[in-house]
């Protein structure tokens, strides 16, 4: 199962990188600092002349209402003024003042003007109306004269512009006044002519409109009343006509609304009384009796009077209806007359008001323009400017550039930053394992120890015999001490010291064979029987190091049933025996996987205290995976600055998947700058002293 490694970065890691690549940081720092310092001291001194002016916001209008062609606001106004200061016309005027009588060609003058424009710096002071005009150069007197002349030219141009504006405005106002007078006269003439045509005596048409509307309201109210009365009378006449046609008596019961206010109810009551009296008389007297006859005659006369009264009432209703109808017609005619008059008054009022309003507008505009023309004439005669000179430029004494302290400080900071950055970048580009910290970060396998680089020593001694046997030839050297430390870690870091140890690496040329040899030597120094087996059946080297024959060896006893102990060779180093590879076979993997291999390992276990197997590298073949099964510990050799991180991680994962009994790392060929352990310096100094004594 893959074990995910989490890399934690600490401050000491960064310090380690800086220490490791200290010369990169120092060289970049010194180079940049010297470059900046030399450039700073060689740079021409630059001075700055400053003139301060005050620009007050001015948005004068000829008339009080806004003109869309004018500058719209405060910000735009000031930006416009800044452009005027740096304008070509202003620069040309400055040239005429500073170089009087000097003849320039047109191109020379334009070129000089552009140069002046480039040198002018306009810096407004935030929150105020103050503006600094700045010019920089190597000649203090020249730039002072230049910036003061620029301010004078700008102020003069601003004043001239205002005077010209007032003159233009005055002429424009005179033209407008003449035009308004003509319009005003025409409007007055049109109004008077309209009055005459419409016979309008009083200018107050609104008063007549009010009286007409009041009368029209009264007429409408009276019409509505007559209309209601007419409807009532029509209903009554219709009822009378209907009753007459049907033969129904008309009395106060059938027309109660009209009969109550007449004598008819009293007469009807008297009739009832006479009828009662006749009824009583007929009970007492005969029909011909005078009293009965007289009573009946009185009843007949009274009934005739009632009929006459009813006819009178009906005639009254008919007459009232005709009168009401006549009044309604008269009121309708009056209403129509008033409506026509109201419409006519409205039309005349609209046109009259239009003409009257035009006269009033022209009069007001004339008065305003006349007043404004007077103000413009007075203001234009005054030489007043909204530009004020606050501080005239003085000759500068101190240069503004180069700023030596700042440049040197920046050079120091940039040099340190670039130096450190380059150091970290180079470290990032380096994808190899170089230090103990790299092993802890990337593969997280226990470290058995490290071996300092002694390649220089080997090159120096390569003409002598056995330079690889450094632990035997120089037992007090730094390298020998490191191998003894690895031996100690192997044997005493667990309760059960390993007996069979395999030494391998990721790729060739990482020093696994030299490591195997020197580990075997240091173990033999402890007076233990040690067997060093050259298990690299593809590219063996141990026989070359010990300078012994390789006719028989490990491959021989794997293929032939001979006594394995008979081919083992004792070396000149006490307690150390060597089993060379023998002739290189065609099928080393099959031999290593055979039962004979297991049998041989058991035989060696019984006859030796420690057995070291020099295995082939991991990447090209599968032999190390086979040999690891017979080993108590696998020593994984990594060459500092050569073996890639990805290769190491891949092979470490491979061994972890094989579940070997024990796995440890030996970091080989570690240079002094790649190790930040304090005792490394001690090892190096000790090793160097030993070599010096030997050379003497």
Q: Which of 638, 669, 691 is closest to 451 using CA atoms?
A: 669
Tokens of 503: 């030494």
CA-CA-CA-CA dihedral for 332, 333, 337, 339, to nearest 10: 20
Residue 63 dihedral angles phi and psi, to the nearest 5°: -120, 165
CA 13, chain centre distance (Å): 36
Q: Which of 111, 130, 122 is closest to 54 using CA atoms?
A: 130
Alpha carbons 557 and 600: distance in angstroms, whole number: 8
Tokens of 227: 């209309």
Alpha carbons 102 and 93: distance in angstroms, whole number: 13
The pLDDT tens digits of the residues spanning 648-676 come to 888 888 887 877 888 899 999 887 666 55
- Which residue in this structure is represented by tokens 């990188």? 17
Alpha carbons 169 and 374: distance in angstroms, whole number: 11
User: Bridge partners of 240?
Assistant: none
Spell out the residues 6+ positions from residue 235 whose beta carbon is closer than 8 angstroms to its own.
none
Position 203 scores a pLDDT of: 54
Q: Tell me the range of 248-252, 464-468, 637-641 where mean pLDDT is highest.
A: 637-641
At residue 688 the predicted structure's pLDDT band, cuts being 50, 70 and 90, is very low
Alpha carbons 264 and 270: distance in angstroms, whole number: 10
Strand pairing report for 663-670 and 447-452: parallel
Position 307 scores a pLDDT of: 77
Count the alpha carbons within 13 Å of 499 in the hemisphere toward its beta carbon. 12
- Which residue in this structure is represented by tokens 């200290």? 22
User: Please, what is the Cα angle at 101 between 98 and 104, to 5 degrees?
Assistant: 85
Looking at the domain that runs over 432-695, which CATH code has it been given? 3.40.50.300
CB 194 within 8 A of CB 352: yes
The pLDDT tens digits of the residues spanning 333-354 come to 877 777 776 676 666 677 777 7
Residue 123, helix vs strand vs coil: strand
Dihedral sign for Cα atoms in the order 252, 256, 262, 266: positive
SS3 for 164-179 is HHHHHHHHHHHHHHHH
Position 458 scores a pLDDT of: 53
Number of other CB atoms surrounding residue 316 within 10 Å: 12
The pLDDT tens digits of the residues spanning 79-108 come to 888 998 999 988 888 988 888 878 888 888
When comparing pLDDT for 608 and 6, which is higher?
A: 608
Q: Which of 540, 547, 552 is closest to 588 using CA atoms?
A: 540
691 has a pLDDT exceeding 50: no
Alpha carbons 479 and 511: distance in angstroms, whole number: 13
Q: What is the mean pLDDT of residues 364-368?
A: 82
The pLDDT tens digits of the residues spanning 398-443 come to 888 888 888 899 989 998 999 899 888 887 787 788 878 778 777 7
Position 600 scores a pLDDT of: 94
The pLDDT tens digits of the residues spanning 223-273 come to 788 878 778 777 777 777 777 776 666 665 655 555 555 677 777 778 878
Map out the domains of the chain as residue ranges: 13-162, 432-695
199 has a pLDDT exceeding 70: no
120 has a pLDDT exceeding 80: yes
Q: What is the mean pLDDT of residues 626-630?
A: 90
When comparing pLDDT for 58 and 391, which is higher?
A: 391
Q: Which of 56, 58, 59, 61 is closest to 169 using CA atoms?
A: 61
For the chain, give the mean pLDDT.
80
- Which residue in this structure is represented by tokens 């008063």? 207
């Amino acid at each position: 199962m893959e074990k995910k490694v989490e890399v934690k970065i600490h401050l000491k890691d960064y310090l380690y990188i800086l220490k490791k690549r200290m010369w990169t940081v120092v060289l970049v720092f010194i180079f940049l600092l010297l470059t900046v310092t030399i450039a700073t001291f060689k740079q021409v001194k630059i001075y700055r002349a400053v003139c301060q002016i005050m620009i007050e916001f001015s948005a004068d209008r000829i008339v009080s209402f806004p003109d869309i062609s004018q500058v719209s606001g405060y910000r735009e106004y000031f930006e416009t003024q800044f452009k005027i200061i740096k304008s070509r016309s202003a620069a040309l005027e400055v040239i005429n003042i500073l170089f009087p009588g000097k003849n320039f060609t047109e191109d020379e003058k334009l070129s000089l003007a552009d140069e002046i424009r480039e040198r002018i710096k306009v810096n407004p002071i935030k929150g105020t109306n103050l503006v600094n005009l700045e010019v920089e150069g190597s000649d203090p007197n020249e730039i002072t004269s230049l910036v003061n002349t620029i301010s004078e030219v700008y102020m003069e141009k601003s004043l001239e512009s205002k005077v010209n504006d007032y003159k233009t405005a005055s002429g424009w106002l005179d033209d407008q006044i003449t035009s308004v007078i003509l319009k005003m006269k025409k409007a007055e003439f049109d109004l008077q002519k309209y009055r005459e045509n419409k016979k309008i005596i009083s200018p107050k048409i609104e008063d007549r409109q009010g009286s007409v509307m009041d009368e029209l309201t009264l007429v409408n109210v009276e019409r509505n009343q007559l209309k209601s009365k007419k409807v009532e009378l029509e209903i009554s006449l219709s009822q009378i006509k209907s009753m007459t046609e049907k033969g129904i008596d008309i009395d106060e019961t059938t027309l109660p609304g009209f009969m109550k206010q007449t004598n008819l109810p009293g007469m009807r009551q008297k009739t009832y009384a006479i009828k009662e009296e006749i009824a009583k008389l007929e009970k007492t007297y005969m029909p011909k009796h005078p009293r009965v006859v007289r009573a009946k005659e009185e009843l007949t006369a009274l009934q005739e009077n009632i009929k006459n009264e009813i006819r009178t009432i009906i005639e009254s209703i008919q007459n009232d209806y005709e009168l009401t109808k006549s009044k309604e017609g008269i009121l309708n005619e009056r209403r129509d007359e008033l409506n026509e008059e109201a419409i006519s008054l409205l039309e005349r009022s609209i046109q009259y008001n239009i003409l009257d309003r035009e006269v009033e507008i022209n009069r007001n505009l004339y008065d305003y323009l006349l007043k404004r023309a007077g103000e413009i004439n007075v203001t234009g005669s005054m030489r007043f400017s909204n530009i004020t000179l606050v501080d005239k430029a003085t000759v500068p004494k101190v240069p503004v550039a180069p700023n030596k302290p700042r440049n040197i400080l920046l050079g120091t900071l940039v040099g340190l930053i670039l130096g450190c950055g380059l150091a970290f970048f180079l470290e990032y580009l380096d994808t190899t394992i170089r230090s103990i910290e790299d092993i802890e970060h990337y593969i997280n396998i226990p470290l058995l120890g490290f071996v300092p680089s002694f390649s220089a020593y080997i090159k120096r001694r390569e003409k002598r015999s056995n330079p690889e046997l450094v632990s035997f030839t120089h037992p007090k050297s730094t390298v020998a001490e490191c191998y003894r430390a690895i031996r100690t870690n192997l044997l005493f870091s667990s309760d059960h010291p390993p007996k069979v140890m395999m030494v391998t690496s990721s790729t060739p040329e990482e020093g696994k064979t030299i490591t195997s040899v020197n580990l075997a030597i240091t173990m033999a120094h402890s007076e233990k029987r040690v067997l060093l087996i050259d298990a690299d059946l593809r590219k063996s080297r141990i026989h070359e190091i010990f300078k012994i024959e390789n006719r028989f060896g490990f491959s021989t006893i794997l293929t032939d049933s001979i006594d394995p102990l008979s081919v083992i060779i004792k070396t000149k180093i006490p307690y150390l025996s060597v089993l060379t590879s023998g002739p290189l076979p065609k099928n080393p993997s099959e031999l290593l996987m055979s039962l004979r291999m297991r049998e041989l390992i058991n035989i060696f276990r019984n006859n030796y205290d420690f057995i070291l197997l020099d295995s082939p590298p991991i990447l090209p073949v599968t032999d190390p995976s086979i040999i690891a099964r017979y080993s108590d510990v696998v020593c994984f050799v990594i060459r500092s600055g050569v073996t890639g991180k990805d290769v190491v991680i891949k092979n470490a994962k491979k061994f972890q998947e094989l579940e070997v009994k024990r796995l440890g790392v030996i970091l080989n060929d570690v240079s002094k700058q790649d190790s930040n352990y304090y005792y490394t310096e001690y090892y190096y100094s000790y090793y160097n002293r030993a070599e010096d004594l030997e050379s003497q």
